[in-house]
Structure 1
Amino acid sequence: MQADARHAAWAEAWRALGVQAPDSAPNNALFDALLARYGEAHRAYHTLQHLDECLAGLALERSHAKRPAEIALALWFHDAIYDVHRHDNEQRSADWARQALRDAGVDAEAAQRVHALVMATRHQAQPEEADAQLLVDIDLSILGAPAPRFAEYEQQIRIEYAHVPPEVFEPRRRQILGGFLARDPLYLTPSIRARLEAQARLNLQRAIG
């Protein structure tokens, strides 16, 4: 996604929530802060590439969203905090999102819904609410990517966990991917399931070996 298209998507999400356009203070600083986060040197997968893929996925599935602007901002924040040595990245990202929305004048209920959407990306269980299902499916759409992109994704994840020895990383990675493969269905949004489920299962089976 080009920089201007990325900023346009950002601006549109805020406008849809009826608050100050982010190309003026204070939200422009927030936009820059998020870009800086996604550009951190220790990231290989959780970068602007992933964010752009998620935003493109939302654009494709927008008609299935109840509150697309809230999903969009949840996507912007869902990997805002990413430290492979911590286990509270989603919590910290969700808290940041909620505070940023409240500071911008978004009502408390909407800010809390965005917080809940970000928390759904912990992937501890499949969500029951439709917008959360859509968000999670978009976040996991990489699993159903064409084989070359999926292979690149696997390499990017390994780079992020380069400090973990193979004898620890590989069985743990197989366990994680096996958990996704065991979901039936993997994708809860019908249109995403129709597009990606079969390829995702092929990718996961090959990765698990």
Structure 2
Amino acid sequence: MTVRIYGYLRASTTEQNADRARPALECFAFNQGVAVSAWFTENESGASMKRPELFRLLDVAQPGDILLLEQIDRLSRLNAKDWQKLRGLIQSKGLKIVSMDLPISHTLMDAETSESFQGRILDAINGMLLDMLAAVSRKDYEDRRRRQSEGIARAKELGRFKGRPVDTDQRLKIMELRMKGFSYSDIERMLGCSRSTIASAVKGLQHSSAEAV
């Protein structure tokens, strides 16, 4: 049976480089004596189940294939319910998760070891560690969100909070595409921005048009 290895790369925002970890994963695979069959890259929150590239990977993968990650938090910052749903889907597909930050998972790269009794034991241990790391990733996400909210609240009290700076270039592109008749979904795909950002830019366009009348 031919085992294919799929690299999954994720960053939370379009300002971050989702491909950053690719060289390290390529080097890791090379040292394991294997090659990555395909890469799936996206800029989406790990706390959301809305990740088209991840689900495209799951759609094409076959039993025994490997989902390769830099860290478990690239796969999940999900709450417990969503994580169990995603993990259940991965298990039902018969995929193996190998992450650079989980050394025990590295043994799953060896097909012989993976199919042995020892491999099955290691796979079970790996599953427990995956659950633990996914929970840690979620807690880290929640802690950072809480600290951010507290910082914003404190800055507002002191009159220092200015909000996120507006990306003028992006808004101009949105307005231009919208005027050319492109849909919100088209603009989302083309610019990698959220629908709320598009709506805000369109609102600004409508406001400017009303003032010009």
TM-score by length of 2: 0.30
Higher Rg of the two aligned structures: 2
Q: Return the structure number with greater relative CO, CA threshold 8 A, min gap 6.
A: 1
The structure where helix makes up a greater share of residues is 1
* TM-score normalized with structure 1 length: 0.31
